[in-house]
């Protein structure tokens, strides 16, 4: 066996396309601070459940770099205009308790993002807005905040986090160099950093923001990533909670069971889900087997490798259990993780062992 590995290494070593790739050190700091500052504390069972479904949309920002192109410009903003501006977007300079700020609410997701950038620039802000095709519950919603530029430029920034103001409204908070230093050194793990408490109920179990408040004295270059309706034949970049408002299975009881409370287990069967799906005029884009919850000594490798276990529809009995229902990447479609065992079987098994 070692001969095989040694020969393979020898055969391929010279052809490694990444052998000269090095992580950019300043960029590393920016990425680290973004991760540590941008994630939410794990605080509750519902939070854990939300994250289990967010796994699929976590990939959404990955395509941010290749999204772009022309947007319709149905109207023109009025840069520098005094007072609230409600043309396409709401960019309303205002005075708030801690100073001046701009509330950004996307009223018309079809407006050219460059228009927003111009409006921000008028106020001395380097803020870009990016719009990507999203499923209905995420159209017009902020789904991601990133520093602009991932390499040297990003490293120069002071850092930021965001805090909840009220339901659906968050504000950007710039961190001082001292705070950033503390974060890098591990001396600051909480405080103002990365506080995202309750999700916006409009988006079901997917995190989103309706209004983002940007302070006018912000020095950090930001990119705000919003969802927009897809064009014909365009696939979603952002996929929301399949049972959230406006989604194909809106209001249907397909929420995965709460792993911390077995009494809430719905144990939805595939046959029951099919009835729901047919009634709503949806189609199943793909089936995957959930390898993680498999009971017994040999659970699946990895953490959430559904995509490693695709399953043909004819190989999915109606009696199997529904583990997770995902939104598909085109309108009217869903993906379903299934298994012959009950959802969270491993967790229950471990709990029962712990009690005995």
Partner 1 sequence: MVVRDEAGFTSLFEEHYESVLRYAWRRVGPADAPDIAAETFRIAWEKFDRVPADRPLPWLYITAKNLVLNLVRKDERRNGIATWLGPDLGNGVEADHAGAVAARIAAVAALNDLGERDRELVLLVSWEGLDLREAAAVAGCSRPTAAMRLHRARRRLRRLLGDQPEATVATRRPSYKETAV
Q: Which residues within the stretch 150-189 sit at the binding site for partner 1 (CB under 8 A)?
A: 150, 183-186, 188-189
Two structure tokens written together for 167: 């339901």
Q: Minimum distance from CB of 12 to partner 1 (Å)?
A: 4
Site for partner 1 in 130-149 (CB under 8 A): none
- Residue of 283, 340, 350, 352 that binds partner 1 (CB under 8 A): 283
Q: Minimum distance from CB of 67 to partner 1 (Å)?
A: 11
Q: Judge whether 284 and 334 are in contact, CB under 8 Å.
A: yes
78 binds partner 1 (CB under 8 A): no
- Residue of 11, 166, 178, 356 that binds partner 1 (CB under 8 A): 11
CA distance 334 to 210: 25
Q: Nearest-5° angle of CA 322, CA 325, CA 327?
A: 160
| 77/316 with CB nearer partner 1 | 316
- Residue of 121, 308, 340, 350 that binds partner 1 (CB under 8 A): 308
| 251/313 with CB nearer partner 1 | 313
- Residue of 13, 82, 178, 233 that binds partner 1 (CB under 8 A): 13
CA distance 22 to 322: 43
**Three-state SS string across the chain, please?**
CHHHHHHHHHHHHHHCCCCCCCCCHHHHHHHHHHHHHHCCCCCCHHHHHHHHHHHHHCCHHHHHHHCCCCCCCCCCCCCCCCCCCEECEEEEEEEECCEEEEEEEECCCCCCHHHHHHHHHHCCCCEEEEEEEECHHHECCEEEEEECCCCHHHHCCCCEEEEEEECCEEEEEECCHHHHHHHHCCCCCCCCCCCCCCCCHHHCCCCCECEEEEECCCCCCEEEEEEECCCCCCCCCECCCCCCCCCCCCCCCCCCCCCCCHHHCCCCEHHHHHHHHHHCCCEEEEEEECCCCCCCCCCCCCCCCHHHCEECHHHCCCCCEEEEEEECCCCCEEEEEEECCCCCHHHHHHHHHHHC
CA distance 56 to 91: 31
| 57/345 with CB nearer partner 1 | 57
Question: What order of strands is seen across the sheet that includes strand 127-133?
Answer: 127-133, 222-228, 142-147
Q: How many CA atoms lie within 13 A of 111 on its CB side?
A: 24
Site string for partner 1, 88-127 (x = CB under 8 A): ----------------------------------------
43 binds partner 1 (CB under 8 A): yes
Q: Minimum distance from CB of 266 to partner 1 (Å)?
A: 19
| 22/263 with CB nearer partner 1 | 22
| 4/178 with CB nearer partner 1 | 4
Site string for partner 1, 44-73 (x = CB under 8 A): -------x---xx-xx-xxxxxx-------
Q: Minimum distance from CB of 137 to partner 1 (Å)?
A: 18
Site for partner 1 in 187-216 (CB under 8 A): 188-190
- Residues that contact partner 1, how many (by CB under 8 A): 76
- Residue of 23, 69, 97, 177 that binds partner 1 (CB under 8 A): 23
Q: Minimum distance from CB of 238 to partner 1 (Å)?
A: 11
Q: Minimum distance from CB of 284 to partner 1 (Å)?
A: 4
Site for partner 1 in 330-349 (CB under 8 A): 333
Site for partner 1 in 219-258 (CB under 8 A): 235, 237
Q: Minimum distance from CB of 131 to partner 1 (Å)?
A: 17
351 binds partner 1 (CB under 8 A): no
| 58/121 with CB nearer partner 1 | 58
| 86/278 with CB nearer partner 1 | 278
């Amino acid at each position: 066996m070692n001969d095989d590995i040694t020969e393979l290494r020898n055969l391929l070593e010279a052809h490694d396309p990444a052998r000269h790739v090095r992580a950019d050190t300043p960029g590393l700091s920016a990425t680290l601070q973004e991760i540590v500052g941008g994630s939410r504390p794990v605080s509750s069972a519902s939070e854990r459940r939300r994250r289990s479904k967010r796994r699929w949309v976590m990939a959404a920002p990955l395509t941010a770099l290749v999204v772009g192109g022309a947007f319709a410009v149905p109207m023109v903003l009025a840069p520098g205009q005094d007072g609230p501006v409600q043309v396409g977007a709401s960019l309303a300079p205002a005075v708030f308790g801690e100073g001046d700020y701009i509330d950004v609410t996307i009223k018309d997701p079809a407006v050219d993002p460059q228009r927003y950038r111009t409006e921000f620039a008028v106020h001395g802000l380097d803020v870009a807005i990016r719009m990507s095709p999203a499923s209905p519950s995420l159209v017009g919603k902020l789904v991601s905040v990133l520093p602009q530029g991932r390499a040297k430029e990003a490293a120069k920034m002071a850092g930021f986090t965001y805090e909840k103001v009220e339901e659906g409204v968050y504000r950007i908070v710039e961190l001082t160099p001292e705070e950033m230093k503390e974060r890098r050194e591990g001396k600051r793990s909480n405080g103002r950093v990365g506080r995202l408490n309750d999700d916006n109920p409009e988006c079901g179990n997917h995190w989103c923001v309706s209004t983002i408040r940007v302070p006018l004295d912000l020095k950090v270059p930001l990119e705000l990533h919003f969802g927009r309706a897809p064009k014909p034949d365009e696939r979603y970049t952002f996929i929301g909670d399949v049972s959230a408002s406006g989604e194909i299975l809106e209001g249907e009881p397909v929420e995965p069971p709460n792993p911390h409370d077995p009494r809430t287990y719905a144990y939805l069967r595939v046959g029951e889900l099919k009835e729901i799906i047919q009634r709503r005029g949806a189609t199943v884009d793909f089936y995957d087997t959930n390898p993680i919850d498999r009971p017994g000594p040999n659970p699946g490798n990895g953490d959430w490798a559904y995509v490693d276990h695709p399953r043909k529809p004819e190989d999915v009995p109606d009696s199997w259990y529904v583990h997770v229902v995902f939104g598909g990447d085109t309108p009217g479609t869903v993906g379903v993780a299934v298994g012959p065992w009950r959802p969270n079987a491993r967790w229950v098994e471990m709990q029962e062992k712990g009690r005995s």
